[in-house]
Amino acid sequence: MEAQMKVSKGKLKTRGLIVWMMGLVLMGIVSTASAVTVTLETLIQTDGSLQVGDKLFHDFSYEDYNDPAGPAADMINVTTQQVAGPNGLLNGLEFHGPFVARSGETQYIAIGYSVTVTDPNYLITDIHLAGNPSAIGTGSVYVGEVVEDINGNVLSDLLIYADNAQNPTQVLSDSGVFSGVSEIRVFKEVFLEGGSNGLGFLSFVDQYVSQERVPEPASLLLLGMGFLGMGVWRGRAMKG
C-alpha cells in the first residue's frame, strides 16, 4: 500500500492543535448554520467554487486510481462548515461519501482544490485535517495530504489513518503550520483496503484553514525604527 500512496506519510505532528482537532472529531462540534452541500462532480463540471467566511475554495479536481472504478465524483458530497478554533473562527469543507473497502477490495482516489483568502488583511498560516478512518481485521485506511503554495513549494504534509492489519492504531487528526500565504493548493489522497479478511471505511474528511492578520504598514515602520534604534544604541555602547 505504501508504494501506491503518492503522498508521503511524513512524521506525525504532535502539536497542541492536533489534540484540539481530535476533540472536534469526537464531539462533533460543527456549525451547520447556512451550510451548503454540493456534489464534487458539480463543482468540477461547472468550475464551481464555495465561499466559507473569507476563504474561497475553487479549482476542484478528482482522480480515481481504481480498476474497477471506485466511487464516482457525483457520489461524493462537499459541505461548507465553520468551527470555533483556539484563535478564532476556522473555515472549511467536509467531504463525505461511500468510502469503504471490504475483503479483497481497495479504493484509491485523489481530490484537489485551491484555497484563496479573499480578505487582503489576512494570510493563510495553518491547515487542519480530520476524519474518522476505521479498520477491522486486515483492513486499513490512509488519508494523506500535501499542501503547496502557488509556486509548487510544499508547505505541509499531513496524514490520518487506521491500520489494523500491521499495527492496530488510529490517528484522527493532523495539522500543519507555515509562513503566511494568500493562496494554497491542496492534494488529498484517500486509500482504503480490506485486505484478505477485513474492512476499511471512512464516512467523512474535514478540512479547516485559519489565518493571521497581515501587519499594517505603520506597524512595520515602527518595528523597523525600533530595530534601527537598537542598532544605533548598541553601536554607541560598544564605542563608549
Amino acid present at 233? W
- The 8 Å CB, 24+ separation contacts for 42-51 are 42/74, 43/78, 44/73, 50/78, 50/80, 50/93, 51/80, 51/118
pLDDT at 211 over 70: yes
The pairing of beta strand 55-64 with beta strand 77-85: unpaired
What is the tens place of the pLDDT at every residue in 191-210?
A: 999 999 999 999 999 999 98
Average pLDDT of the segment spanning 168-182: 94
Give the list of residues 6+ apart from residue 234 with CB closer than 8 angstroms, or none.
none
For the four alpha carbons of 12, 18, 19 and 22, in that order, the dihedral sign comes to: negative
Q: What is the pLDDT of residues 73-113, one digit of tens each?
A: 999 999 999 988 776 788 999 999 999 999 999 999 999 99
Q: What's the CA gap between 178 and 155, in Å, rounded?
A: 6
For the chain, how far is it from start to end, CA to CA, in angstroms?
67
Mean pLDDT over each residue of the chain, to the nearest integer: 83
How high is the pLDDT of residue 32? 43
Q: Which helix (H) or strand (E) element contains residue 164? A: none
Sketch the domain layout of the chain as residue ranges: 16-215
